[in-house]
Amino acid sequence: MKVALLGLLQSGKSTILAALSSKTIPAPGSTSIEEAIVPVPDERFDWLAEYYKPKKTTHATIDCLDVPGFNFTDEHGRAAARRLINKIRTVDLLVLVVRAFENPAVPPYRNRINPAADLAELRTELLLTDLELVATRIENLEKQVHKPTKTQAHDKAELALQKKLQQAIESEKPISSAVETQAERKMIKSLGFLTLKPIVVAVNVGEDQLDKGFDFADQIDDSVPVITFCAKLEHELAQLDGESKAEFMTDLGITESAASKFAKSCYSALNLISFLTVASCELRAWPIKRGAVALEAAGKIHTDLQRGFIRAETFSLNDLKELGSEKALKAVGKIRLEGKDYIVQDGDIINFRFNV
């Protein structure tokens, strides 16, 4: 799962990513895209690690790109933004980081601290880059459809679709609002439209605004997760060990870490859940699409498991907590033998039986 953190200049993208991934903050003004791996915090995982004491633990992770801030106030900035945007067309999700914090040492973009205005500007610019791509595609297809090639029927269908997308963008709607079927989605997948991707809105608040709520209902629909955190405090927290961290969080009144909010919002926007495996001395969490079946889950781990799938021995963490051991679970039939069409549930602990 690949995620890009995008935002206007100096909204705190690098600071929050450093806090989430223990990476160092790139020098201000850095113009390259940096990559960081963010582990997904999971209480169930921690409990199981404590219970099984495996030799190795592997959290689910989110692959994050820290994209240098955009500056749309002049031509040079616009061109730089365009280049960066073209490099992130393959990501699965966009996290739009907007600034709410005051900091006299960091002059705000366009001299305003206004998360709603920043979000609107970002979204408009993303729409404009998609519009450009649609326009180029339409121009090419309009020439192409007159040629009697093998792909003519397909080209015609795509041209009609691109025109529909163009209309959506011109009425300031994201491409995602105009794509109705899987077939349409497939037709344009390789183009990497940004406004086809799910988004999360992340508001970086000041140290004294931790309780502040934000409502962008006039811009985005309720299915879009909105999270808030103070990147600077989170970065300080990340330097502390478990106990002092918990204390510091209580003192500040932070009830949920940015790491947890970040992971949950990405999972929710991408419609993901996790299943867990305990095998060969390794405890591991695996992200998977909600609604995926056991056979797909097996394939996540290894193609051999999918090819030679026999069954998925599955139990739930709650049952294990209640009954105390796998043996006790087995005795009362709480280790289920699921077939390849079983719909994996969030937090399932699965042992795949296979034969190749």
Ligand X SMILES: Nc1nc2c(ncn2[C@@H]2O[C@H](COP(=O)(O)OP(=O)(O)OP(=O)(O)O)[C@@H](O)[C@H]2O)c(=O)[nH]1
For 63, list phi and psi in degrees, rounded to 5: -85, 115
Among ligand X, Mg ion, none, partner that 293 touches (CB below 5 to 8 angstroms by kind):
none
Nearer to ligand X, 8 or 145 (CB): 8
Residue 59 makes CB contacts below 8 A (sequence gap 6+) with 39, 40, 41, 42, 45, 285
Site residues, ligand X (CB under 6 A) = 7, 9-15, 28, 68-69, 101, 103, 106, 204, 206, 230-232
Residue with the CB atom nearest ligand X in the bound state: 69
Applying CB under 5 A, the span of 8-16, 115-123, 167-175, 343-351 interacting with Mg ion comes to 8-16
Give me the least distance between CB of 68 and ligand X, in Å please: 5
Angle in degrees, 0-180, between the axes of helices 75-86 and 115-144, rounded to the nearest 10: 70
Nearer to ligand X, 259 or 278 (CB): 259
Nearer to ligand X, 230 or 350 (CB): 230
The full 3-state SS of the chain, as one line of letters, equals CEEEEEEECCCCHHHHHHHHHCCCCCCCCCCCCEEEEEECCCHHHHHHHHHHCCCEEECCEEEEEECCCECCCCHHHHHHHHHHHHCCCCCCEEEEEEECCCCCCCCCHHHCCCHHHHHHHHHHHHHHHHHHHHHHHHHHHHHHCCCCCCCHHHHHHHHHHHHHHHHHHHCCCCHHHCCCCHHHHHHHHHHCCHHHCCEEEEEECCCCCCCCCCCCCCCCCCCCCEEEECHHHHHHHHCCCHHHHHHHHHHHCCCCCHHHHHHHHHHHHHCEEEEEEEECCEEEEEEEECCCEHHHHHHHHCHHHHHCEEEEEEECHHHHHHHCCHHHHHHCCCCEEECCCCECCCCCEEEEEECC
Among Mg ion, ligand X, none, partner that 204 touches (CB below 5 to 8 angstroms by kind):
ligand X
Asked if 11 interacts with Mg ion (CB under 5 A), we say no
Give me the least distance between CB of 198 and ligand X, in Å please: 21
Give me the least distance between CB of 68 and Mg ion, in Å please: 6
Nearer to Mg ion, 13 or 235 (CB): 13
Residue with the CB atom nearest Mg ion in the bound state: 14
Give me the least distance between CB of 160 and ligand X, in Å please: 39
Give me the least distance between CB of 146 and Mg ion, in Å please: 47
Give me the least distance between CB of 141 and ligand X, in Å please: 36
Nearer to ligand X, 37 or 356 (CB): 37
Nearer to ligand X, 21 or 162 (CB): 21
Among ligand X, Mg ion, none, partner that 231 touches (CB below 5 to 8 angstroms by kind):
ligand X
Among Mg ion, ligand X, none, partner that 7 touches (CB below 5 to 8 angstroms by kind):
ligand X
Which of 4, 7, 14, 298 binds Mg ion (CB under 5 A)? It is 14
Among ligand X, Mg ion, none, partner that 352 touches (CB below 5 to 8 angstroms by kind):
none
Applying CB under 5 A, the span of 5-13, 131-139, 296-304, 345-353 interacting with Mg ion comes to 5-13
Contacts with Mg ion, residue ranges (CB under 5 A): 13-14
